[in-house]
Amino acid sequence: MTRYLVRRVLQAVVVILIVTVIVFVLLHALPGGPARGVLGQQATPEQIAAFNAAQGLDQPIWVQYWHYLGRLFSGDLGTSYTLNAQVSDLLAARLPKTLVLTLASTLLALVIAIPLGIRQAARRNGAFDYAATALAIIVYSTPVFFLGLLLIMAFAQGIPLFPAQAPQGDSLGDILGEPRGLVLPVVTGALATIAAFSRYMRSATLDNLAEDYVRTARAKGTGERAVLLRHVTRNSLVPVITMLGYFVPVMFGGSLVVESMFNYPGIGFLFWNAAQTSDFPVLLGVVLVIAIATVVGSLLADVAQALVDPRVRSVAL
Amino acid sequence: MTNHRADEPAGTPDEDTTPTPPPVLRYRSFSVTFSTEHGDVQAVRDLNLDLYPGEVLALVGESGSGKTVTSLAALGLLPASARVTGSVELNGRNVMELRGEQLRRLRGDEVSMVFQEPMTALNPLMRVGRQIAEVLTNHTRLAKDAAAARAVELLGQVDIPEPARRAGQFPHELSGGQRQRVMIAMALACDPDVIVADEPTTALDVTVQAGVLELLRDLRREHGVAILMVTHNMGVVADIADRVAVMYRGDLVETGPARTVLLDPAHEYTRSLLGAVPVLPRLEVTAPSSRGAEPTADADTRVDGDSGAGGDTRIGTDADVGADAGVGTGAAAPALELAQVVVEFGAKGRRFTAVDEVSLRIDAGEFVGLVGESGSGKSTIGRCALGLVRPSAGTVRLFGADPASFRGRTARAARRRLGVILQDPAASLDPRMSVGDSIAEPMVVHRTHRRRQRAARVAQLLESVHLPATTASRYPHELSGGQRQRVSLARALALDPELLIADEPTSALDVSVQASVLAVLAELQERYSFGCLFISHDLAVVDSLTDRIAVMHGGRIVEHGPTRRVLTKPQAEYTHRLLTAAPVPDPVEQHDRRQAWLAAHRTSAA
Amino acid sequence: MTTMTQVAVPTGAEPPVRPRRGQAWRRFTGNRLAVAGLVVVALLFLFSFVGPLVYQTDQVHTDLASANLRPGTDGHPLGTDDVGYDVLGRLMVGGQTSLIIGMAAGVLATVIGTAWGAVAGYVGGRMDAVMMRVVDAGIAIPALFLLLVASAIYTPSVPMMIVVLGLVSWLVPARLVRAEAMSLKTRDYVLTLRAIGGSHRRAIVRHIVPNTVGTMMVNATFQVADAILLVAYVSFLGMGVQQPATDWGAMLSKGVTYAYSGAWWLIVPAGLLIVLVVASFNFIGDGLRDMFEVRGKNR
């Protein structure tokens, strides 16, 4: 296990390093280079030259990358020039809020999607399966913002059950204190995910139902219900763990749209505002943090899978 | 008519060959039809068959004969797409009419099943002890811990060492033979009247197969359970069956006592099937080698130590075998020469040695067999010879060049003199390439023929493997397994190779198809006299073709010599064990082999 | 051996491993949703590219005098938007953008992904490790975020969107093709080719890539669906192609403010068209998967 863990962690570190290279390249792809990124669009050429000299931007590119890495390690992601704050401070305040939102959406989606997918697979090609499949593809094909708009029009304007605006508190406590305001953002985020997860679960269950061991279980007189629950469901849930790892970036993408729609004060909303104002330090800071979160997420998924699946576990040992 | 047997079956074992009690399982006018994309396919036609208490009935046939469908029906396990007429009565009740809960109660309790592939037949994520206990909790009121304890007992009954520890393991932690024993323990758990075993030993090596068959024989004797054994292997039939039923394309063509059917078959199909089975020569040594305690190590040093004079004198004991001349002269450059080859796989810390100091030499025109069970390293040797695996130590020379260096001009020239056939007929040809393009590929790679010449050559090659020239425009999925391997052979011969390397080219084929492919190979070898390294797990197949064989075990060559001599008077203990474990279709001789195996088995266990 | 030849050896009687062409197509048409998807996509292409020739509207000059007209008024079947563009005509123009970007980006992503994945999977070893870490890193950054950064740096235009989308969405096909290449390279026909001296190039070009066609086509269809969705997201977030050019996502984005006050025609038709086209491509992908019997990509 430790050998596998060490190898997998090293892999993750390499991936994060490559991510920093990508972000570094983006930083240099900015019109006027990082100087403009830091000083803003109104900076004069003289200011930029002075900044470049001061920051060592006239040095070879790999030296600059080295310095950039050094700054990252000390937690320095630069300063937002519109919000007048350290990017790292902004992220530290916003990230927990985004995590709360995505976790709630993901949990809701799993709770609905897993039984749905199993049921569809158990009665494959029945009326229920066809209806659920068609619906899932349609929901999956619907832009999250369109779903959100429809929900707002129905449940915030049509029947005013929930507010159309997410809670605006500064602290996590303030936000959790207004659960009604969280309903529409969480549901919006969950809908598309339910569609994707149920399709995945259906397919994983069908794959397992076709396995020989299912026939063995029937041959020994195990009832259909027990075959489905004791054998098939358990085994089908294993690949779902990996899928969750792969899904982390998709969930962040979704939170970007959901947060912008509902003015939810997470990093997605921060990112969107920064995009409108070309606040590059914030944009690149968010990209870096999300990429790291994704890498850590799939690392955790792989480790969890290794713990759950004895086959992987014994190879990893 | 069978109503009087509806009460609790006694299951009295009947050692006598003439069973008097009514059958436990009877098929009456049983037919199965599947509707497929290609229209209706009748898998079984009007079958009438009885299985009596305590007997072993072998249901024999090649693929597509309907034998598996017939066996699955006994448990009501036919797929939903099957349309059934007629009846399958188990203790007087028609299984085809049972539904849901009734069927569930029957399965695993009155009739149980052992499947072919024990790796996939077991749930990979459940401990084996629990999988066995599940049968008990399905059918008895046993509490969980009692069922678990009983599962450990059952593992002991099927001769799995350390049953308590094994019960806590997952299927992938057991060996293939142990997994099949777990399946048998499961089948046995509720003391059924009938065990249906669908090719239970096909996925196993012969030495493991012998043990599993012995176990089934013991269980039948101790528990009096009737066994319906589906198999394609006539040797297995000779070994274990009391009676035989032969199926061909959905029809039952012959039934009778095993001895009669095997020695004096009535139906033409049975005769041709038996005729196609490659047969081992009669074993002349009945006891393991008496030359000292460690014949294995003895053989090792002699073979591996040198490829020169020392080895020759030993191999040269049978003077009339042509191979000797080839090995003896050593003047002409050998087609293939491996010297002290070692192959290790895996990363640091978890390295294992697949091939351990193997030396082997094939001269021009020589037909050499390389035999061993799975994991013996025989395929790795093949891959080394093909340059697909680079040895960790030692040298490989193919026509004097190192095949592992793809770039060199000499290596390329050497490859041009090489033909290759690999195992899997499903993967030997690119499904997206026409047969003609596949056969022409060597000519394209080596730029030997112009386009028009290629077409002519392809037609000629197809003819030489007895396929019509029109086959060239077809795609692999339109061909049968046997046809595909003939196409592979045609491709291998495209450039008139001096050496053919064949890795289990017929192991996935039915015996009759195998016989025809091997006949073509023998015929072509006669005509073109190419040398051949023929890798196989089947001693009998190798016997009919090769001049010389090398037997591999645990990465080493344990015995090496003229084919006839090795197969009739094996010197290494392992070769003897392998030979006695391989069942032959003659029930009388098989009985002797079985006794020899038991004797060897006892001494090795002691 | 003479008795053997009398056996009716079942030559060619075994069921085919892969469907013949006609059967494959029949399997596709057996999936009714897939056929419906194909028809809908064809109709949407006609609507977007042929439609403007039949139904001519001014989609360049604004006309504030006739802004926010309800559907049906003054020969505007679907009304007008906040600056007076005819909504039906605008849907046609917007459809061009969505479809062109979606198709082109899908094809670009598939081509890059196949090449990258085939090489990584076939070569294996360190090369594969390095190539796949790059893919991991790319996947770690959600495409939408990169698109917005790109849009903040450069002015968004159709070619720029195609290139950026292509560059961010080749990662998933690369992973799929790599997995397939890894299994294909151990097939006997590839080993045989290598053993008789065939080049790596020939192995990849003649054997690996042709055998990933099924996976690629299925995935390409899903890629088009994803690309159209992503374009819509970027536009909805106000960072897409700029006026007077538009796409369905941008129309929705602009309509939101008015939609809350009842101007449903500004968002519902555009939203439905997005759903329709994306769902159609997804249905087609499903049908192709049946046709090629591709397993693995679950969605």
A46 found inside a domain: yes
Buried-state track A207-217, b at ≥16 Cβ within 10 A, e below 16: bbbebbbbbbb
Q: Which of B269, B412, B441 should be substituted to probe chain C, the one whose Cβ sees the most C Cβ atoms within 10 Å? A: B441
Question: Nearest residue of A to residue B348 by CA position?
Answer: A3
User: For residue A262, is it within any domain?
Assistant: yes
Cβ-Cβ contacts under 8 Å, A314 against chain B: 170, 172-173
Mean pLDDT of chain B: 82
**B515 within domain boundaries:** yes
Cβ-Cβ contacts under 8 Å for B320 (sequence gap 6 or more): none
Residue B386 distance to chain C (closest CA, Å): 5
Q: Are B63 and B251 in contact (CB under 8 A)?
A: no
> Which residues, at least 6 apart from C219, have a Cβ–Cβ distance to it below 8 Å?
C110, C113, C172, C173, C176, C285, C297
Q: Count structural domains, chain A.
A: 2
Shared domain check, A104 and A215? yes
Question: C interface mutation test: which of A130, A149, A153, A283 has the most C CBs within 10 A?
Answer: A149
Residue A19, Ramachandran bin (φ over 0: left; ψ between -120 and 50: alpha; else beta): alpha
Alpha carbons C185 and B381: distance in angstroms, whole number: 19
Examine the pLDDT at C23 and tell me if it is beyond 70: no
Tell me, yes or no, if B404 comes closer than 8 A to chain C by beta carbon.
no
Element (H, E) at B416: helix B409-416
Regarding whether B343 and B474 lie in a shared domain, the answer is: no
Confidence at A36, pLDDT banded by 50, 70, 90:
low
Residues A69 and A158 in one domain: no
Interface contact A220-B135, CB threshold 8 A: yes
User: Is the model's pLDDT at B567 over the cut of 80?
Assistant: yes
pLDDT at A32: 62
Q: C238 and chain A: CB distance < 8 Å anywhere?
A: yes
Instruction: Match 């909805």 to its residue by tokens.
Output: C236
- If asked whether residues A144 and A220 sit together in one domain, one would say yes
Residues of C in contact with B418 (CB under 8 A): 195-196
Reduced to 3 states, what is the DSSP secondary structure of residue C152? Answer: helix
Tokens of B584: 């032959």
Average pLDDT over residues B342-346: 84
- Look at the alpha carbons of C120, C121, C127, C129 in this order and tell me if their dihedral is positive or negative: positive
B413 and B343 in a common domain: yes
Residues of chain A neighbouring B144 (CB-CB closer than 8 A):
none
Same-domain pairing of A107 and A230: yes
> Is residue B467 assigned to a domain?
yes
Helix (H) or strand (E) holding B548: strand B548-553
Please report whether residue B167 resides in a domain. Answer: yes
Per-residue pLDDT at B43 exceeds 60: yes
What helix, strand, coil percent values describe chain A, rounded to 5?
A: 80, 0, 20
Contacts of A311 in chain B (CB under 8 A): 124, 170, 172
Q: What is the reported pLDDT for A113?
A: 92
Residues B341-370 have a mean pLDDT of 84
Domain with residue A272: its CATH number is 1.10.3720.10
Tell whether A298 is covered by a domain.
no
- Same-domain status, A48 and A156: no
**Quick one: tokens of B429?**
């040809």
Angle at B264 between CA B263 and CA B269, to 5 degrees: 105
Q: Which of C149, C247, C277 to mutate to test the interface with A (most CBs of A within 10 A)?
A: C149
Chain C residue closest in CA terms to A202: C298
DSSP secondary structure, A92-130, as one string: HHHHHHHHHHHHHHHHHHHHHHHHHHHHHHHTTTSHHHH
Q: Do B134 and B145 sit in the same domain of this protein?
A: yes
Cis peptide before C244 (omega within 30 of 0): yes
Same domain, B378 and B525: yes
Q: What is the pLDDT of residue C164?
A: 87
Domains of chain B: total: 3
**C-alpha–C-alpha distance, residues B16 and A5, integer Å:** 62
Closest CA to B111 of C162, A316, A218, A207: A218
Nearest in space to B124 (alpha carbons), one of A150, C190, A238, C168: A238
Q: Which amino acid is at C10?
A: P
Q: Do C233 and A137 touch (CB under 8 A)?
A: no
CATH number at residue B531: 3.40.50.300
Last residue of a domain, one of A276, A294, A309: A276
- Residue spans of alpha helices (H) in C143-267: 143-153, 158-169, 171-184, 188-195, 200-202, 209-211, 213-236, 248-259
Q: Which residue has the higher pLDDT, C7 or B262?
A: B262
**Per-residue pLDDT at B292:** 38
Six-digit token pair at B524? Answer: 């072509």
Mean pLDDT over the full length of chain C: 80
> Hey, which chains touch B, using 3+ CB pairs under 8 Å?
A, C
Which tokens sit at A187? 């549901």
Q: Are residues A119 and A258 both part of a single domain? A: yes
Pick from B101, B112, B173: which is nearest to A220 by CB? B112
Last residue of a domain, one of B157, B189, B221: B189
Provide the residue ranges of all domains of chain C, joining segments of one domain with +. Answer: 21-55+70-292
B284 part of a folded domain: no
Minimum-distance CB partner of B121 among A3, A212, A223:
A212
Q: Mutate which of A146, A211, A302 to test chain C, going by most C C-beta atoms within 10 A?
A: A146
Q: Which of residues 79-138 of C touch A (CB under 8 A)?
A: 133-134, 136-138
Residue A44: inside a domain: yes
pLDDT in tens, A270-312: 888 888 877 778 888 888 888 888 888 888 888 888 888 877 7
pLDDT band, residue B57 (cuts 50/70/90): very high
How far lies B142's CA from each of B136, B145, B163, in Å? 7, 8, 20
Task: Give how far B10 is from chain C: nearest CA, Å.
Answer: 43
Question: Do residues B330 and B303 both lie within one domain?
Answer: yes
| Cα–Cα distance for residue pair C255/C83, rounded to 1 Å | 11
For the domain spanning C21-55+70-292, the CATH number is 1.10.3720.10
Q: How confident is the model at residue A107 (pLDDT cuts 50, 70, 90)?
A: very high
Question: What is the tens place of the pLDDT at every residue in B229-240?
Answer: 999 888 888 888
The pLDDT of A188-207, averaged and rounded, is 88
- Within a domain: residue B217? no
Chain-centre distance for alpha carbon B336: 28
Whole-angstrom distance, CA of residue C24 vs CA of residue C18: 9
Q: What chain A residue is nearest to C279 in terms of C-alpha separation?
A: A141
Same domain, B324 and B390: yes
Q: How far is CA B319 from the centre of its chain?
A: 33
Q: Three-state DSSP class for B308?
A: coil
- For C234-268, the pLDDT digits (tens) are 888 888 787 777 888 888 888 777 777 777 777 88
Q: Give ipTM to 2 decimals.
A: 0.82
Confidence of residue B17 (pLDDT cuts 50, 70, 90): low
**Measured distance CA(B240)–CA(B209) in Å, rounded:** 12
Give me the residue from C4, C193, C211 closest to B441, CB to CB.
Answer: C193
Residues in chain C within 8 Å Cβ distance of B401: none
Q: What is the pLDDT of residue B311?
A: 35
Of all helices (H) and strands (E), which one includes residue B231?
strand B226-231
Could you report the per-residue pLDDT of B93-126, keeping only the tens digit for each?
888 888 888 888 889 888 999 998 888 899 988 9
3-state DSSP percent of chain B in helix, strand and coil, to 5: 45, 20, 35
Of B108, B117, B124, the CB nearest to A221: B108
Q: Which residue has the tokens 């505002």?
A: A273
Q: Is B551 exposed, middle or buried (0-12, 13-18, 19+ CB in 10 A)?
A: buried
Query: Under an 8 A CB cutoff, do C12 and B480 touch?
Result: yes
Nearest-angstrom CA–CA distance, C198 and B388? 12
Residues B167/B127, Cβ–Cβ less than 8 Å: yes
Tokens at residue B579, please? 């030979």
Across A255-267, average pLDDT: 87
Residue B3 has pLDDT above 50, yes or no: no
Using a CB-CB cut-off of 8 Å, the residues of chain A touching C144 are 253, 256-257
Assess whether pLDDT exceeds 90 at residue B387: no
A120 with A127: CB under 8 angstroms? no
A141 plus A239 within the same structural domain: yes
Q: Based on the fold, state whether residues A61 and A151 are members of the same structural domain.
A: no
User: Chain C contacts of B475, Cβ < 8 Å?
Assistant: 18
Q: Which two tokens stand for residue B436?
A: 């003609």
Interface partners of A (3+ CB pairs, < 8 Å)? B, C
Average pLDDT over residues B260-274: 87
Please indicate, yes or no, whether residues A68 and A122 belong to a single structural domain of this protein.
Answer: no
DSSP annotation string for B451-508: HHHHHHHHHHHHHHTT--GGGGGS-GGGS-HHHHHHHHHHHHTTT--SEEEEESTTTT
How much is the pLDDT for B604?
63
* pLDDT surpassing 80 at residue A131: yes
Tell me the pLDDT band of A251, cut-offs 50, 70 and 90: confident
Q: Listing from the earlier edge strand, what are the strands of the sheet with B352-362? A: B352-362, B336-345, B393-398
Residues C2-36 as b or e (16 or more Cβ within 10 Å = b):
eebeebebbeeebebbbbeeeebeebbeebebbee
Long-range CB contacts (< 8 A, 24+ apart) of B538-541? B538/B278, B538/B371, B538/B507, B538/B582, B539/B280, B539/B371, B539/B567, B539/B578, B539/B579, B539/B582, B540/B277, B540/B278, B540/B279, B540/B280, B540/B582, B540/B584, B541/B278, B541/B506, B541/B514
- Report yes or no on A255 lying in a domain: yes
Distance CA A200, CA A194 (A): 10
Residue A6 placed within a domain: no
Cross-chain residue pair C141–A137, CB shorter than 8 Å: no
* Same domain, residue pair B373 and B521: yes
Among residues B238, B290, B204, B221, the alpha carbon closest in space to that of B599 is found at: B290
The pLDDT value recorded for residue C215 is 82
The confidence score (pLDDT) of residue B6 equals: 36
My answer on whether B491 and B466 are in the same domain is yes
* Coil, helix or strand at residue A88: helix
| Alpha carbons B195 and A268: distance in angstroms, whole number | 63
Q: Tell me the count of A-B CB pairs closer than 8 A.
A: 77
Question: Using the beta-carbon criterion (under 8 Å), do B268 and C6 form an inter-chain contact?
Answer: yes
* Structure token pair of residue C54: 């039949």
pLDDT at A40: 63
* Cβ-Cβ contacts under 8 Å, B250 against chain C: none
Residue A1 confidence (pLDDT): 60
Tens digits of residue pLDDT in B513-532: 888 888 888 888 888 888 99
Q: pTM, whole model, 2 decimals?
A: 0.81
Instruction: Give the tens place of pLDDT for each residue, B407-419.
Output: 667 778 888 888 8
Type and span of the H or E element at B50: strand B39-51
Q: Measure the CA–CA gap between A26 and A16, rounded to whole angstroms.
A: 15
C98 in Cβ contact with C235 (< 8 Å)? no
Please indicate, yes or no, if residue A307 is contained in any of the structural domains: no
Distance CA B563, CA B348 (A): 39
3-state secondary structure of C211: helix
Kindly list the partner chains of chain C, i.e. chains with 3 or more CB atom pairs below 8 Å: A, B
Statement to judge: residues B538 and B400 lie in one domain = yes
Q: Quick check: C167 contacting A, CB < 8 Å?
A: no
**Residue A307 near chain C (CB below 8 Å):** no
CA-wise closest residue to A221 among C129, B534, B187? B187
The answer to whether residue B68 is domain-embedded is: no
Give the domain range for residue B133: 121-189
Q: CA-to-CA distance for C240 and C232, rounded, in angstroms?
A: 8
pLDDT in tens, C160-172: 888 888 888 899 8
pLDDT in tens, C106-161: 899 999 999 999 999 898 888 888 899 999 888 888 888 888 888 877 778 888 88
- The pLDDT-based confidence of B63 (bands split at 50, 70, 90) is confident
Query: What amino acid is encoded at A65 in this protein?
Result: Y
Distance CA B209, CA B181 (A): 11
Instruction: Please identify among residues 140-159 of chain A the ones whose CB lies closer than 8 Å to any CB of chain C.
Output: 140-146, 149-150, 152-153, 157
Residue to test with chain B: of C23, C123, C186, C188, most B Cβ within 10 A: C188
Which are the contacts of B309, defined by CB distance < 8 A and separation ≥ 6?
Answer: none
| Span B424-445, average pLDDT | 87
With contact defined as beta carbons under 8 Å apart, do B231 and B60 qualify?
yes
Could you tell me if A272 lies within 8 Å of chain C, comparing CB atoms? Answer: yes
Residues A101 and A161 in one domain: yes
pLDDT in tens, B152-178: 988 988 888 888 898 888 988 888 888
Instruction: Give CA separation, A173 vs A88, A97, A102, A189, B62, in Å.
Output: 21, 10, 17, 21, 72
A86 in Cβ contact with A166 (< 8 Å): no
Any domain includes A86: no
Q: Quick one: closest CA in C to B406, which residue?
A: C197
B-chain residues near C13 (CB < 8 A): 64, 480
Tokens for B127, please give them: 């401990």
Domain that holds residue A35: 31-76
The dihedral region occupied by C84, where left means phi > 0, alpha psi between -120 and 50, and beta the remainder, is: left
